[in-house]
Structure 1
């Protein structure tokens, strides 16, 4: 029987205390899904989900009696988050779906572990382990997991119809864990049911695509999705993969870790992508990165221009713009030196401010901004050597003329 490669996460006082709380009155508890899968593969375990036979209200009562915080994060569907030693554990009562409708399910609580497993998405996620590290594998998921085969449980079309998000989850899991060719049954089912993607919230689609973009096989899986008409539905409009694929090639060639947000910028490539939703922070980065890319396309990658852009935008924006330019250069090697410079040059601050001009007797107003802009250009032309006094003298002299 297979064993967990990493077990230290299961042996902590916090999780064992949670087991003590849950396993009372004949109830059983097991860690389920991702932590088990990752531990079998020797990969990092972060969040821990636990399945148990106790009803959610009983879980809350036992947790509070033991002094643990219990948060009813999804109590209607059997989920309670227990916080022990500052660590959250999502605890869900065993259940089976009575009725499903794309994203919302009517569930029935039970005590049958095999039925609980049967309602999950992929065989590698229908794995359980008890507090001692003993595996429970009702659907043969261990073999699939160890061989990195991503397969739907039972009928793939039915699994997708229960939850349309499983289409995107399949591609994300395959990009992250899969080896070899994708399961043809899964691909056919995803393609057949792809219109269900349009029923998903933009937030959920964005989250899945973002996680896929940082996966080891992101490039080929994006092409697989595109070839089956799935990516267009997810984005909300047709797209081209040229820029994001060029970015991924450049990241690999330059020995850089893949940046999921920058990859998303490249995937969007200034399209609206109505099927997605982004934070203000992402949108600001996207705007500056594309501004830098366009400026570099016009003026080149020489250090003089890089300095000017870094002062006007930011080092991050210029680094992003350089990487987004991978599509326009003959080889990623052309980006190595500019990137190194952009990430090492210490950006100076313009030594002249509006208050300096006002203190020198100039009237507040729009003219102050115009004068500062001119001073900034003069400062740049000096290779950032001119100091406050020199710049101020130039401004005052220009105003006297």
Structure 2
């Protein structure tokens, strides 16, 4: 069925094409990754649009992934049909539509064969305020591509594999270049969050750090204060992805050089030198975003201020505070045969469920790969003595029970958690 759909001429192939349009049709993709997208649901969706002579193409990031030889996790579709025309088509075909929140922006979500398909009408931005845009619908594919942020995200792919590339996005992708569509300053002013999107995609696409177009960096510098009006939640989504991507140390340093830090919750006096060192230690260990950012913080108050601006999760905030507090004090032991012990003792004493995961992030921060591997395999042992056991020994005072339990716990730790209940209790009779 996929082959039948793939070879079937689409509407765009049946109508006369001007030379200028033909120049945007750069190649035809026929790969296993594209073929794998053609589920029963997509085949049915395509047939509905073709029957009504509306064009349907894969859009945005999915095209970029397919051209890179990857199967996209999410696939967005664009069409010349308006939302009303889509709703009419789907209703007549008995197709259920869900989640109508995107309809005012032109997106209709249809459910076919237990799959959801988001299809968006081609749009042009009529008015923008740096955060939101008022849009009008169009049937002009180039105008829709023109409103997108980066050339590598502005391509469309026909369901027959034809690539429609209006701004040399494929060439940029092959050359691993990240460029805005048209004027960088204009694109940024339409949505200031595109500054951070540029950095994120640079980390995903660029082969080397420092290969930016000078006019792009100047446009970012000139529009830096626009990020002050962007919600913390949106900034955090982009920043988290950026700091765990390639070239994160270079990009964070660039954020400071271009004057962005103060607008996105980072300390203005961030410790960039430490950050670069920590990134080199931790980058191959898949550090969490907060592990990387903590290297910029000088005090726990820096974490608090970041949270006020970005509304990070409780887990992320507590990890940041933990790393700032213990990065210098909780270090490996001097005994080379048991350098793990200070960390395991700390976990035992903490008695909190997530302490081990925090310590693992600390080890990434410290660059202690060997100890990290050992602690990853370590299971927290259970302290074998309880207050009930001491009461059986005739000890009834709550305060005394607490003191003795701590003494026994210390003895147990010194034995490297090897002593059992009977051995520990026997020490009471000898004292």
Contact 1:49–1:89 (CA under 8 A) maintained in structure 2: yes
CA distance in 1, matches of 2:84, 2:424: 71
Instruction: State how 1:253-264 maps to structure 2 within 5 Å.
Output: 255-264=284-293
2:170 paired residue among 126, 142, 148: 142
Match of 1:167 in 2: 195
Match of 1:296 in 2: 330
CA distance in 2, matches of 1:292, 1:388: 32
Give the drift of 1:182.
Answer: 0.8
Give the drift of 1:280.
Answer: 1.9
Give the drift of 1:275.
Answer: 2.9
Moved more, 53-62 or 144-153: 53-62
Moved more, 282-291 or 160-169: 282-291
Q: Identify if the C-alpha distance between structure 1 residues 361 and 97 changes in structure 2 by more than 3 Å, giving closer, same or farther.
A: farther
Instruction: State how 1:204-219 maps to structure 2 within 5 Å.
Output: 204-219=234-249
CA distance in 2, matches of 1:195, 1:300: 48
Match of 1:348 in 2: 381
Contact 1:99–1:107 (CA under 8 A) maintained in structure 2: yes
Match of 1:203 in 2: 233
Moved more, 384-393 or 136-145: 384-393
Is residue 339 of structure 1 aligned with residue 372 of structure 2? yes
Instruction: State how 1:217-232 maps to structure 2 within 5 Å.
Output: 217-232=247-262
User: Per-residue CA shift, 1:269-313, capped at 9, x if unaligned?
Assistant: 642324322112223433444455343249668233232123235
CA distance in 1, matches of 2:175, 2:286: 25
Match of 2:134 in 1: 106
Gaps of 5+ in 2: 1-25
User: Per-residue CA shift, 1:226-245, capped at 9, x if unaligned?
Assistant: 21112342234311223332
Match of 2:362 in 1: 321
Give the drift of 1:220.
Answer: 1.5
Give the drift of 1:81.
Answer: 2.9
Is residue 133 of structure 1 aligned with residue 166 of structure 2? no
User: Per-residue CA shift, 1:242-283, capped at 9, x if unaligned?
Assistant: 33322321235xx53454343234344642324322112223
Contact 2:195–2:220 (CA under 8 A) maintained in structure 1: yes
Gaps of 5+ in 1: 327-334
Instruction: State how 1:111-130 maps to structure 2 within 5 Å.
Output: 111-130=139-158
Is residue 188 of structure 1 aligned with residue 200 of structure 2? no
Q: Identify if the C-alpha distance between structure 1 residues 303 and 126 changes in structure 2 by more than 3 Å, giving closer, same or farther.
A: closer
CA distance in 2, matches of 1:278, 1:152: 29
Secondary structure of 1:386's counterpart equals coil
Secondary structure of 2:309's counterpart equals coil
Give the drift of 1:68.
Answer: 3.9
Contact 2:81–2:121 (CA under 8 A) maintained in structure 1: yes
With the length of structure 1 as denominator, give the TM-score of the two structures: 0.86
Match of 1:389 in 2: 422
Moved more, 198-207 or 3-12: 3-12
CA distance in 2, matches of 1:266, 1:88: 41
Secondary structure of 2:143's counterpart equals helix
Is residue 373 of structure 1 aligned with residue 406 of structure 2? yes
Q: Identify if the C-alpha distance between structure 1 residues 22 and 268 changes in structure 2 by more than 3 Å, giving closer, same or farther.
A: farther
Is residue 39 of structure 1 aligned with residue 76 of structure 2? no
Secondary structure of 1:91's counterpart equals strand
Match of 2:274 in 1: 243
CA distance in 1, matches of 2:371, 2:168: 51
Give the drift of 1:359.
Answer: 6.2
Q: Identify if the C-alpha distance between structure 1 residues 260 and 16 changes in structure 2 by more than 3 Å, giving closer, same or farther.
A: farther
CA distance in 2, matches of 1:135, 1:383: 63
CA distance in 2, matches of 1:223, 1:209: 13
Match of 1:285 in 2: 319
Moved more, 197-206 or 335-344: 335-344
Contact 1:292–1:309 (CA under 8 A) maintained in structure 2: no
Match of 1:331 in 2: none
User: Per-residue CA shift, 1:142-161, capped at 9, x if unaligned?
Assistant: 22222222111122211111
CA distance in 2, matches of 1:48, 1:187: 31
Give the drift of 1:207.
Answer: 0.9
Contact 1:210–1:264 (CA under 8 A) maintained in structure 2: no
Secondary structure of 1:312's counterpart equals helix
Contact 1:160–1:193 (CA under 8 A) maintained in structure 2: yes
Contact 2:199–2:251 (CA under 8 A) maintained in structure 1: yes
